[in-house]
Amino acid sequence: MTAAKFTPRVFSGIQPSGGLTLGNYLGAIKRFVDVQNDGLKGQRFETIYCMVDMHAITATLPDPATLQKNTRELCAGFIASGIDPEKSILFNQSRVPEHAQLAWIFNCVARMGWMQRMTQWKDKAGKNAENASLGLFAYPALMAADILIYHATHVPVGEDQKQHIELTRDIAAKFNHDYGVDFFPMTEPVIEGAATRVMSFRDGTKKMSKSDPSDASRINMTDDADTIAKKIRKAKTDPEPLPETLEGLKDRPEARNLVNIYAALSDKTAEEAMAEVAGQQFGQFKPMLADLAAAKLAPISSEMARLMQEPGEIDAILARGAERAREITAPILDETYRIVGLVR
């Protein structure tokens, strides 16, 4: 089944598993804002953005007050970055029970072997898989439900989530095949832009992550200008000046990462950014990048701080978003139950 018969609809989510990083911003939120305002490739979309708080209890069980604070802070980050709760549906996952209800059905559709192949499962469970939670193992089935409970046709994500979107398509295809229906769409991942994979400042082969134990490995959206400058100054690089072309960055992951960040923050392609900074020493390039990052992030972090003073306002936005979300999810779950033979 092609996505053409479905309403053009974008869904994406972020876990409130800690403060937002520059990776989350450039790989996800900034793109969400672009799709909300400009659509994709000339097409307009309904946009649905979610704080996936049920995913945030899969790796560890966070302190309840911290989880709620992280959810509000993430919501503040979305709004401060330009997500308009009137234009987009903005809510947290646990307010919309149809996500978990569909996830249970998908747990029964997905195969153990599919889940075992997920690289994020392997990375996060590590050598201690016996002790990891069942929720962490089933994470991709809940993610598939997050997407398919909206019949979402497109999902903007960072590179790291590509395999989970492929699994979402496998689950949709198996459900459609096993029940002889054309009910769930084949959702398309949208992985575009110069910074689909922002890397750690400590190790250019690892992605920048909010749960990395080293704070120096990432820029947090709440970091002030001095902290941003210090982290960029100390970011691991090599002694060579920047090359003349992108080709010259091939075996220089740390340098490539900084050029990609520069490109994404200045809304340029990687090629355009490279042409601008070609031949520069890091002593010249890093302060320029730090100034740009501070200028772009300062208005977002100050608006986040202002919104965090108004938790009631944030909760009202999330509650209203959840109501709008349920107008879409309730009929889709009703029909899924009918197809499966469940009664609600």
Verify binding: residue 27, ligand AQP, rule CB under 6 A. yes
Q: How many residues bind ligand AQP (CB under 6 A)?
A: 20
Nearer to ligand AQP, 28 or 314 (CB): 28
User: Does residue 124 carry a catalytic annotation?
Assistant: yes
> Which x/- pattern over 89-128 shows residues binding ligand AQP (rule: CB under 6 A)?
----------------------------------------
Confirm or reject binding of residue 66 to ligand AQP (CB under 6 A).
no
- Separation between Cα atoms, residue 215 and residue 161, nearest integer Å: 23
Cβ closer to ligand AQP: 91 or 175? 91
> Is there binding between residue 36 and ligand AQP (CB under 6 A)?
no
Catalytic residue from among 69, 127, 210, 230: 210
From CA 252, how far away is CA 200, in angstroms rounded? 13
- In this chain, which of 142, 208, 242, 333 binds ligand AQP, going by CB under 6 A? 208
End-to-end CA distance of the chain: 27
Q: By CB under 6 A, is residue 220 in contact with ligand AQP? A: no
| Phi and psi based region of residue 180 (left: phi greater than 0; alpha: psi -120 to 50; beta: remaining) | left
160 binding ligand AQP? (CB under 6 A): yes
Show the CA angle centred on residue 328, arms to residues 325 and 334, nearest 5°.
125
Contact residue for ligand AQP among 161, 168, 187, 301 (CB under 6 A): 161
Opening angle at CA 141, ends 139 and 146, nearest 5: 95
Which residues is 91 bridged to in the sheet?
50
Out of 51, 141, 198, 265, name the contact with ligand AQP by CB under 6 A.
Answer: 198
207 a catalytic residue: yes
21 binds ligand AQP per the rule CB under 6 A: yes
3-state secondary structure of 142: helix
Active-site residue (options: 41, 69, 87, 124): 124
Q: In angstroms, what is the minimal distance from the CB of 123 to ligand AQP?
A: 9
Backbone angles phi, psi at 252, to 5 degrees: -125, 75
The reply on whether position 147 binds ligand AQP by CB under 6 A is: no
Answer for which of 9, 10, 11, 15 binds ligand AQP (CB under 6 A) is: 15
The DSSP annotation for 222-277 comes to: T--HHHHHHHHHHS---SSPP-SSGGGGTT-HHHHHHHHHHHHHTT--HHHHHHHH
Q: Residue ranges of the alpha helices (H) in the chain? A: 22-24, 30-38, 64-81, 98-109, 112-116, 119-125, 134-148, 162-179, 225-234, 253-265, 270-277, 282-308, 311-340
Task: Decide if residue 17 touches ligand AQP (CB under 6 A).
Answer: yes
The question of whether 286 is a catalytic residue gets the answer no
Binding site for ligand AQP (CB under 6 A): 14-15, 17, 21, 23-24, 27-28, 157-158, 160-161, 196-198, 207-211
Active site residues: 124, 207, 210
